[in-house]
DNA sequence: TAGATTGTTAATCGATTAACAATC
DNA sequence: TAGATTGTTAATCGATTAACAATC
């Protein structure tokens, strides 16, 4: 078929896992895999894997499977991992610090360039290569520097305001750690949420469920 | 119907959002809501909300909707938020520090009691009320203290080993921040993953998609 | 009571899985 | 070539939405 117009979110969410596994296989010097090999490793069906790939093109070779490096490159390209992304962190509290300090993103071309906080006292001990500014410095920063993605790590009460400011500055790509829905702030906002509390609550549920009803009550 | 045996993961994942909204409504002194009110606020269908609730019992009153506090209490009870949970953090790096330092979980009855790391030099500046131990202290700790949930914040390479140790100590409830699938380590493991990279990659995809194809390419 | 809104059954929609012809 | 495995179409499954009788 090659390049469908609209692709379901379920498919997109699986791409990072494929990318990760292919990276491991590459590190193990595996050069070819079939959809069945991949399926085994990921505990999904081969059918699903082939369906997923077919949304984006034809990456395999009939009778021989997929070239690991090529396939990984294709997925990286789909996800945009083949070019650098400039990130800023807005809100330099616990999570903001964790993001700015985590170097692992760099391997996938994501670079935290600057952090912002209302409180100048917090802008100490910044990681190597990361600049710090108070919030009022954000417009000037945005005017002179490229910002691909903003990581919103402010308290819930500040999140809407920050999102509006970011949208006004043309930084509508938001990685949101505040427990609010920012997609309503503007039509242009592209937002992906990490809600740690929500995830913890789900674990709490399944921990109880497993105790009560045994392992059959667990998903997957 | 009242209390279905097995409930889909999609339903469970929506419960924290309901709980959060009901908390806000409670703070606004709203005492009653209909499924239509809730649906409006959450941008979902009223039908879905009623279906979701009906998995667990009958929480509403025909003709009058739901009592906000009562409903919130029911959902809190389903998620286990009505009683305290003792947490430990294993791996005291960037994410581990963020988790141990974040006080917000306490409002929902989750308490980080201790942190563990292979490197004793890292166990400095612990938050108020949090103890620090090297990894070899984990068995003794588990023997003398209650541990409901372990937050695994170690590097990928250490994650399997840590999960095996935790499982051996009977701490099979894992909130996993390492990019590996720990559910295979043991049948008893209940694991919920937060994979920050995966989420960032998905954002990267949608940022590109929005640029290319406009807002129609976005989900939700 | 009449109106509103639930809980639930039936219909629809979309995603996953199975099957298989195409072909390397 | 023969065997293997893809890409894709068709069948199944599950989740979401619509409809409505029950009832507060």
A3 CA to C9 C1' distance (Å): 40
pLDDT above 50 (res B1) = no
Burial class, A172, CB count within 10 angstroms (exposed 0-12 / middle 13-18 / buried 19+): buried
Would the pLDDT of A1 be above 70? no
pLDDT at A52: 98
- Cβ neighbours of A203 in B, within 8 Å: 149, 173-175, 190-192
Check if the beta carbon of residue B87 is closer than 8 Å to that of residue B151.
Answer: yes
- Whether residue B213 has pLDDT greater than 90: no
| Proximity of residue B1 CB to strand C below 7 A | yes
User: Strand D nucleotides below 7 A of a protein CB?
Assistant: 2-9, 14-19, 22-24
Q: Does A140 touch chain B (CB under 8 A)?
A: no
Structure-block tokens of residue B102? 């974040």
Residue A53 confidence (pLDDT): 98
Tell me which residues of chain A, numbers 31 to 50, contact chain B at a CB-CB cutoff of 8 Å: 43
Mean pLDDT of A82-100: 97
Residue B117 host element (H or E): strand B110-117
Instruction: Out of A98, A192, A206, name the one closest to residue B97 (CB).
Output: A98
Which residues of chain A make contact with B179, given a CB cutoff of 8 A?
20
The mean per-residue pLDDT over the stretch A198-217 comes to 90
| Alpha-carbon distances, residue A198 vs A157, A178, B108, B158 (angstroms) | 18, 11, 11, 26
Q: What confidence score (pLDDT) does residue B214 get?
A: 76
Alpha helices by DSSP H, chain A: 9-27, 35-42, 46-54, 68-79, 94-101, 138-144, 156-168, 196-213
Give residue B184's pLDDT: 86
Give residue-wise pLDDT tens across range B37-74. 999 999 999 999 999 999 999 999 999 999 999 999 99
pLDDT given at position A55: 97
pLDDT of residue B16: 98
Measured between its terminal Cα atoms, the distance across chain B in Å is 30
Q: Which residue has the higher pLDDT, A4 or B110?
A: B110
Q: Integer distance in angstroms from CA B217 to C1' D11?
A: 28
Mean pLDDT of A101-130: 96
Q: Average the pLDDT over A152-172 and give the result.
A: 97
For residue B39, which nucleotide's C1' is closest to its Cα? Answer: D17
Is A179 within 8 Å of B215 when comparing Cβ atoms? no
Quick check: A79 and B201 CB within 8 A?
Answer: yes
Mean of the per-residue pLDDT values of chain B: 95
Is it the case that residue B2 has pLDDT exceeding 80? no
Distance of residue B200 Cα from the nearest chain A Cα, in angstroms: 7
- Reply yes or no on whether the pLDDT at A215 is more than 80: no
Quickly state the pLDDT bin for B216 (edges 50, 70, 90). Answer: confident
Q: List chain B residues with CB under 8 Å of A216.
A: 6
What 3-state DSSP class applies to B216? helix
How confident is the model at residue B57, as a pLDDT? 96
Which band of pLDDT confidence, cut at 50, 70 and 90, is reported for residue B91? very high
Kindly report the number of other CB atoms within 10 A of residue B119's CB atom: 11
Say yes or no: B78 contacts chain A, CB-CB below 8 A.
yes
Q: For residue B34, say whether its CB is under 7 Å from any atom of strand C.
A: yes
| Residue B77: pLDDT over 50 | yes
A50-59 per-position pLDDT tens digit: 999 999 999 9
Contact B80 A207 (CB under 8 A): yes
User: What predicted TM-score, i.e. pTM, was given to this entire model?
Assistant: 0.95
Closest residue (CA) to C1' of nucleotide D24 is: B62
Lowest-confidence segment of A50-54, A129-133, A210-214, B172-176 by average pLDDT: A210-214
Strand, helix or coil for residue B93:
coil
- Residue A2 reports pLDDT greater than 80: no
Nearest to A78 by CA among A61, A56, A59: A56
Cα end-to-end distance, chain A, whole Å? 30
What is the share, in percent, of chain A residues with pLDDT greater than 90? Answer: 89
Any atom of strand C under 7 A from CB of B66? yes
Average pLDDT over residues A87-100: 97
The token pair that represents B122 in the structure block: 């890292």
**Is there a contact between B195 and A16 if contact means CB atoms under 8 Å apart?**
yes
* Residues of chain A above pLDDT 70, percent: 98
Q: Does B113 touch chain A (CB under 8 A)?
A: no
Residue B219: per-residue pLDDT? 81
pLDDT of residue A3: 59
Please give the residue of chain B at the shortest CA–CA distance from A199: B192
Would you place residue B21 in the very low, low, confident or very high pLDDT band (cuts 50, 70, 90)? very high
Give residue B117's pLDDT: 98
B82 close contact with A: CB closer than 8 A? no
């Amino acid at each position: 078929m090659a390049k469908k117009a609209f692709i379901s979110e379920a498919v997109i969410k699986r791409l990072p896992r494929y990318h990760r596994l292919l990276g491991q296989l590459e590190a193990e010097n595996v050069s070819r895999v079939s959809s069945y090999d991949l399926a085994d490793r990921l505990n999904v069906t081969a059918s699903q894997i082939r369906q997923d790939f077919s949304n984006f093109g034809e990456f395999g070779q009939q009778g021989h499977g997929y070239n690991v490096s090529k396939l990984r490159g294709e997925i990286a390209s789909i996800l945009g991992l083949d070019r650098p992304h400039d990130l800023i962190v807005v809100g330099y509290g616990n999570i903001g610090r964790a993001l700015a300090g985590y170097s692992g993103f760099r391997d996938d071309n994501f670079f935290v360039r600057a952090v912002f906080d209302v409180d100048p006292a917090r802008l100490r001990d910044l990681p190597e290569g990361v600049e710090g500014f108070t919030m009022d410095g954000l417009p000037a920063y945005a005017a002179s520097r490229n910002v691909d993605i903003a990581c919103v790590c402010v308290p819930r009460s500040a999140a809407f305001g920050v999102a509006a400011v970011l949208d006004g500055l043309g930084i509508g790509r938001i990685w949101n750690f505040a427990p609010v829905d920012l997609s309503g702030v503007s039509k242009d906002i592209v937002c992906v949420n990490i809600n740690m509390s929500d995830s913890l609550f789900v674990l709490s549920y399944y921990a109880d469920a497993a105790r009560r009803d045994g392992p059959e009550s667990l998903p997957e």
